[in-house]
Structure 1
Amino acid sequence: MNRQKSFANDHLETGKLYIVGTPIGNLNEMSPRAVQTLKEVDLIAAEDTRHTRKLLSYFNFSTPLTSFHEHNQESKKREIVEQLLAGKSVAVVSDAGMPAISDPGEVLVDAALQAGISVIPVSGPNAALNALVASGIAAQPFTFIGFLPRQKKERKKELEKWAKIPTTLIFYEAPHRVKQMLQDSFAILGNRQIAIARELTKKHEEWLRGTIEEVLTYVQQTEALGEYCVVIEGASEDTKEEQTNWWDELTIIQHVEHYITDGMDKKAAIRQVADDREIPKREVYQIYHEH
């Protein structure tokens, strides 16, 4: 068991690790406590030192920085823990939002706790919660999943794992993958209520709310820009009883025509139908063209 009295052991020789939330867009969301913490620590471990240096410059201070990202976190965590054990206090920040939420930080927290170092969170913005509370979809209970796998097969497998869960689902998605993610969500989860948000707290903040099919149709006809938060309604009682595919009642030809009507070209529609049904693309092609 680990018992931590965060502010009652200032006499100890070890430093403290602060997990500091930073703005996800609008710099006015930076809290006075976060500013004070970043000013007073001996070192800031930043996902991108260039990005964080701009943040420090905006608030007019220059605490020393060291890089801490997904590619060096295993080696850097030892170096940072050594400094904490030597009495230095360290803050970890990501490029935006709370560290360790789909961002570096988790392995450093674990290493610090294993070394007996106090770990203290400093509240800040979080894109997932911002998206959830303004989505119009039940805010609780919810399940935060983060980024889905990049590969289609693994992405669909992950979605299938959550298909019968009754809680609201929250995802992050990159702009170049959001269309494919929505297609797979439609195929596996069915036509549920959804809200997607991009550029949260920034000048070009935008929301799309509706069914997955409605939002997918819009997204397929527009250019995807900015990082996305995707909030999807949880499984209903009927869904939990028996998960079915929205296209089960369609023939292969109708299935292809559905995607063409949504704006796909013929080749892409055939490929998508093959992926949905997990059959060879050649088979779909032959059936469609014989028709």
Structure 2
Amino acid sequence: MQAPRTGRLYLIPVPLGQTPIAVALPQSVRACAQRLSHFVAENAKAARTFLKALPSDWPLQQIEIQELNEHTAASALPQLLAPTLGGSDLGLVSEAGCPAVADPGAALVALAHRQGIQVVPLVGPSAILLALMGSGLSGQSFTFHGYLPSGSQEREKRLRDLEKESRLLQRTQIFIETPYRNRQMLESLVNACAAGTRICVATDLTLDTEQITTRPAAAWRSQPLPEIARRPTVFLMQA
């Protein structure tokens, strides 16, 4: 007797900001997402907006969307994968960009591997990689650090430590901040770094208002800083 088919876990990127889906995602990715009726999402409301814009082949009320965020207990992960064990394919989506990259979905992907479920990553926008591509900084050696300390003194100390590591290893350091603290992050970065350290600020990636600027810290200090408050931004630095 043939064993029942196990579904696949598809990692489905979503657009950054208000970028049109047809611009952000290849047709093959949109077609995959359209046919699925089971999803795990960082935010169910954002996922429904994404599926409505596709649009999905299924009525929205018939699509099962389970949430996986920073508050989800590890014990809840097997239930999120249950559709695959029943033979249904499952889509994993983040609020923006690629799931499982700087995203709680990585834990679900790890469990899928342990359970022998096929994981299929699909092509789409990643703010981290787009920022690195556009920065002119080293793409041979780089590290993404996520969020740095929120306190100004702790943040500047961490930045100086990252700068030392960058100088030693010729490594690009990449990090993000809660958008409403972008200005404070940039001020700390410009103040903490040596004059020749290159700093890149990549804002509103893939949007009409996209800005990617790379210059030495000394040059950043010599002119007014850009208005990036409450705009999604990736920061990069190489000493």
- The alignment's TM-score, normalised by the length of structure 2, stands at 0.81
Closer/same/farther in 2, CA of residues 223 and 161 from structure 1, 3 Å limit: closer
Q: What SS does the aligned partner of 2:179 have?
A: coil
Give 1:126's aligned residue. Answer: 126
The size of the alignment, in residue pairs, is 223
1:77-226 residue pairs with structure 2 within 5 A? 77-152=77-152, 154-163=154-163, 164-165=165-166, 166-191=170-195, 192-215=197-220, 218-219=224-225, 222=227, 224-226=229-231
Which position in structure 2 is the counterpart of 1:277? none
Aligned: 1:30 with 2:30: no
Over the aligned positions, Cα root-mean-square deviation in angstroms equals 2.4
Contact 1:22 1:34 in 2 (8 A): no
Percent same amino acid at aligned positions? 30
- Give 2:234's aligned residue: 229
Gaps of 5+ in 1: 1-10, 236-291
Measured in 2, the distance between the counterparts of 1:52 and 1:15 equals: 20
Cα distance in structure 1, aligned partners of 2:231 and 2:144: 20
**1:137 counterpart letter in structure 2:** L
1:161–1:85 distance in 2 versus 1, CA, 3 Å = farther
Q: CA deviation at 1:227?
A: 1.3
Bigger relative contact order, structure 1 or 2 (CA pairs below 8 A, ≥6 apart):
2
Q: Report if aligned partners of 1:160, 1:188 keep a CA contact under 8 Å in 2.
A: yes
8 Å contact 2:70–2:104 — kept in the other structure? Answer: yes
Could you tell me which amino acid in structure 2 is paired with residue 21 of structure 1? P
**Alignment deviations for residues 232-287 of structure 1 (CA, whole Å, 9 cap, x no partner):** 12x3xxxxxxxxxxxxxxxxxxxxxxxxxxxxxxxxxxxxxxxxxxxxxxxxxxxx
Gaps of 5+ in 2: none
Query: Is residue 2:32 matched to residue 1:40?
Result: no
Instruction: Output the TM-score relative to the length of structure 1.
Output: 0.68
- The 3 A distance-change label for structure 1 pair 161 and 78 is farther
- Write out per-residue CA displacement over residues 174-212 of structure 1, whole angstroms, 9 at most, x where no aligned residue: 232223323433454423111202111112222333223
> In the aligned structure 1, how far is the partner of 2:34 from the partner of 2:186?
42
How far off its partner does 1:223 sit? 6.0
1:54 is the counterpart of 2:46: no
In 2, are the aligned partners of 1:47 and 1:104 still within 8 Å (CA)? yes
Shift of 1:133: 1.5
C-alpha distance 86-149 of structure 1, shift in aligned 2 (>3 A): farther
- Comparing 18-27 with 175-184, which one deviates more in the overlay? 175-184
**Distance (whole Å) between structure 1 residues aligned to residue 79 and residue 159 of structure 2:** 38
